[in-house]
Chain A
């Protein structure tokens, strides 16, 4: 049959220039495919056109449209801008924010095809993932985040006016250093950021109302009369051990002022907001890439975009999912886009056209038909670690030629542990999964005790696995930050997770300024 594949009159757009009409038309076409054919479920979309400079702005402030001011964002801006100007790095084509409505930024410099790709990728791919993945559902408050950031920004500006830049900066520096130690890893209560904001106001009002200077003059019980508490009682009282260091300091640090606690709280909330994103890089990008690939292919099949546009898309798509091999100069770890996309495709393949091997490995999945449904299910229920553990197939391991290497500092050589063969599949899958397990990636550091009867020394413990200690100079710098917040001496003990033997100790003395952070 020689039917014309592209019917020019049905093209959504022609040429590279974009305008609002074309974007609207493309959006509707994509929406139709995404919702009706692929069964995606998304937050309402808001697409914002921005310039290159605004794009730099946006991703120097960790991708958020509103952010309080801090020098580190300026630093990232300076770095990104230099890289961009010198042409070492292109700009991201898009940024998408996990909020409702879901905001996607598109750059004015993009061609129409790129805008189409970005809408498919961000406004439908990421958006669907944000809305449906259980981690995000459990942890983030898409409705509240923008308002909360607005509140955070004003609050911190307020503090700067009231207490000075330097004072606020010190707290923020310390809080940023502890950001990855500032999340609750096990869900307790879903955080609602609007309530947060309201409660902050209430706390402030309550404090203002109940402030009574007389309390200061109440005589203190003479020393020695205080009943000595047992260690376990004390720990229970302080809620120790505690791995959320920011939380502990916010609640228990004796010398912090109200506003300082509030800043810690803000940074903690933001950190918590990003925690699911950190755990789902592969899945999130894989989902968005798979969605845009499906949508673009579909647009092409139905003759809504031209051959040229499709080729332009393929060019950009393949460079995004390119995975250099380990001995390639360009290799810098596993590309989350490449792995994610490959796994999504693999899942659909197993569901639709499984081999015998697949049937053996994935008895529930193999041959059940509807690949899209299988992929959607994966998106909803996993995070990177469990996703890899569940879905990485021998087929894909062979395709990527994955192998695992053991690097033991004691040995002069690296050892090839397992390769992509019968004996290696399970092990490689387990190790790759662990590579995405934040609980394993991030050092296990907890506050274990406070010497309340003595000099109020705060004691932290790092449980060392596989003999990998903390980076010393950074650890020291972070301890200094903790000491600034805590107000007294801080000690970090690195103990072996197996033998409990003490491997190393770091200590930082109390900051000199009393009561001042």
Chain B
């Protein structure tokens, strides 16, 4: 018999296998994340979650019989009451009388569950969307500068003198150069005085006097505070993200907006939220939906209610204006707005909308994005093959100096490219 200790063998022999598995599963995880993000609310998107990946890409298929159908016999243990010919209620869900027959390896295939942390989730979500580039571009514009303490400097204004640091330097210099302390001088003077009063030996008095003279001279030569001790607080101007932002989601919910269109809009808003969320400490969202009249609503109602009516775009803009005045003074908040619409508007309202947008909304907004959602097979034009009412109206308002961007989206896969285009303002040549 041989007995061998293998405990010291290299551990993690399965590492290569695990890596192969993860590489394989990655695709599935990405897909699961994308699916999951479609199902959740805008504000939940930042929470990590359990992502279940379907057995799909990591499944190992084999020929085996189906679990249903046909005639099967099982032999099972533990009969208590049955006699031949008895019938048993079919157990639900495969428990009970199901025998060991089944796939050849006898092992069921569970789905795999990965729990992703918030960051992992976002990484994958964003990786899929290639967002990081965009963040870099935008950070520049969105920051205010503020002064932050950044160590000490040897020069500066007297107001910034750092007393503590200066004194500490002075003290260490004095100790290093052996500057006599005031107590020592006083003590020596005392001794000298006593010696003189006592009428001591002249030579001794002389020695004391010289000694005193020497240390006084020394203390004069080594100043209490030297210019080299002096330190000033140094400040640096550091870009600082602006603390708060509000995002207005404006959506046309008139009858012509299909579920598909709303889904596109939701995804767009989700991206916008994520994007803002990464730059601001707090992001508020205001959902405004409109038909012929506009209302501020919660997310659920915003996306899933089925109200319908005519379309008057200006009402939404007015509502937004009202909300800003009430709750979000533009001196304190960065205001963003995204409007999703299929482009229909009452012709009579166009002029009013344009004016509102140009004179009220755009001046207070950091950015206003208009996305026109369309049915998947639509070429982005109205039924008549022309640009939609709203598109034409907004186009008049659009100018290089106004923070207004407009894009059309027809399918999910266009959302991100469009989003990126919209926000890559510098490149677009605004």
A53 with B20, Cβ < 8 A, contacts A466-B71, A468-B69 known: no
- Bound-state Cα–Cα, A432 to B73, Å: 9
Q: Across the interface, do A477 and B75 meet the contact criterion of CB distance under 8 Å?
A: no
User: Quick one: which of A105, A181, A278, A331 has the most chain B CB within 10 A?
Assistant: A331
A323 with B77, Cβ < 8 A, contacts A69-B16, A77-B14 known: yes
Tell me the A55-98 residues at the B interface (CB within 8 Å).
56-57, 60-61, 69-75, 77-79
Return the CB mask of B6-22 against A: 1 if under 8 Å, else 0: 11010111101111111
Tell me the B61-81 residues at the A interface (CB within 8 Å).
61-80
A326 with B70, Cβ < 8 A, contacts A108-B7, A416-B88 known: no
Least CB distance, A396 to chain B, in whole angstroms = 10
- Bound-state Cα–Cα, A123 to B1, Å: 10
Least CB distance, B28 to chain A, in whole angstroms = 12
- Considering the complex, give the chain A residue whose CB is closest to the CB of B58: A75
Q: In the complex, which range does the number of interface residues on chain B fall in?
A: 35 or more
- Bound-state Cα–Cα, A108 to B128, Å: 45
Return the CB mask of A303-323 against B: 1 if under 8 Å, else 0: 000000000000000000001
Tell me the A427-462 residues at the B interface (CB within 8 Å).
428, 431-432, 434-435, 441-443, 445, 462
Number of A residues near B (Cβ < 8 Å) is 100
Q: Across the interface, do B2 and A47 meet the contact criterion of CB distance under 8 Å?
A: yes
A475 with B68, Cβ < 8 A, contacts A73-B14, A327-B78, A415-B87 known: no
A408 with B71, Cβ < 8 A, contacts A326-B78, A333-B100 known: yes
Q: Across the interface, do B63 and A416 meet the contact criterion of CB distance under 8 Å?
A: no
- Bound-state Cα–Cα, A101 to B85, Å: 53
- Bound-state Cα–Cα, A53 to B73, Å: 40
Stretch at the interface among B89-97, B296-304, B314-322: B89-97
Partner of B4, one of A44, A47, A471: A47
Least CB distance, B111 to chain A, in whole angstroms = 11
Tell me the B93-112 residues at the A interface (CB within 8 Å).
95-101, 103-104, 106, 110, 112
Partner of B60, one of A101, A176, A333: A176
- Considering the complex, give the chain A residue whose CB is closest to the CB of B83: A419
Chain B residues near A323 (CB-CB < 8 A): 77
Interface on chain A toward B: helix, strand, loop, or mixed SS?
mixed
Chain A residues near B17 (CB-CB < 8 A): 60-61, 69-71, 73-74, 77
Partner of B76, one of A79, A123, A405: A405
Stretch at the interface among A23-31, A128-136, A204-212, A283-291: A23-31
Instruction: Determine if B183 is an interface residue (Cβ-Cβ < 8 Å).
Output: no
Q: Across the interface, do A72 and B60 meet the contact criterion of CB distance under 8 Å?
A: yes
Q: Across the interface, do B63 and A70 meet the contact criterion of CB distance under 8 Å?
A: no
Q: Across the interface, do A470 and B3 meet the contact criterion of CB distance under 8 Å?
A: no
Interface on chain B toward A: helix, strand, loop, or mixed SS?
loop
A69 with B78, Cβ < 8 A, contacts A418-B84, A474-B64 known: no
Instruction: Determine if A364 is an interface residue (Cβ-Cβ < 8 Å).
Output: no
Q: Across the interface, do A71 and B64 meet the contact criterion of CB distance under 8 Å?
A: no
Instruction: Determine if A195 is an interface residue (Cβ-Cβ < 8 Å).
Output: no
Instruction: Determine if B386 is an interface residue (Cβ-Cβ < 8 Å).
Output: no
Partner of B90, one of A60, A178, A414: A414
- Bound-state Cα–Cα, A103 to B97, Å: 38
Instruction: Determine if A233 is an interface residue (Cβ-Cβ < 8 Å).
Output: no
- Considering the complex, give the chain A residue whose CB is closest to the CB of B88: A414
Instruction: Determine if B24 is an interface residue (Cβ-Cβ < 8 Å).
Output: yes
Instruction: Determine if A363 is an interface residue (Cβ-Cβ < 8 Å).
Output: no
Partner of A57, one of B13, B65, B112: B13
- Bound-state Cα–Cα, A408 to B22, Å: 42
- Considering the complex, give the chain A residue whose CB is closest to the CB of B66: A471
Q: Across the interface, do A407 and B84 meet the contact criterion of CB distance under 8 Å?
A: no
- Considering the complex, give the chain A residue whose CB is closest to the CB of B99: A333
A416 with B83, Cβ < 8 A, contacts A326-B78, A432-B75 known: yes
Chain A residues near B1 (CB-CB < 8 A): 24, 27, 31, 44-47, 123
A478 with B71, Cβ < 8 A, contacts A54-B6, A71-B17, A420-B79 known: no
Least CB distance, B4 to chain A, in whole angstroms = 5
- Considering the complex, give the chain B residue whose CB is closest to the CB of A31: B1
- Bound-state Cα–Cα, A69 to B24, Å: 13
Least CB distance, B171 to chain A, in whole angstroms = 57
Chain A residues near B197 (CB-CB < 8 A): none
Instruction: Determine if A180 is an interface residue (Cβ-Cβ < 8 Å).
Output: yes
Q: Across the interface, do A435 and B101 meet the contact criterion of CB distance under 8 Å?
A: yes
Chain A residues near B18 (CB-CB < 8 A): 74, 77-78
Chain A residues near B4 (CB-CB < 8 A): 46-49
Chain A residues near B97 (CB-CB < 8 A): 326, 405, 407, 414
Q: Please list 5 pairs of residues, one from A and one from B, whose beta carbons are closer than 8 Å in the complex, sorted by A's number.
A: A177-B60, A326-B96, A333-B98, A415-B86, A416-B87
What would 11 more interface pairs be, CB under 8 Å, given A49-B4, A60-B17, A435-B99?
Answer: A49-B6, A57-B12, A74-B14, A77-B18, A405-B99, A409-B70, A420-B79, A442-B64, A462-B63, A470-B64, A475-B63
In the A-B complex, the 10 residue pairs with the closest CB atoms: A325-B78, A74-B21, A333-B100, A468-B70, A74-B17, A477-B61, A467-B70, A413-B87, A71-B20, A326-B76
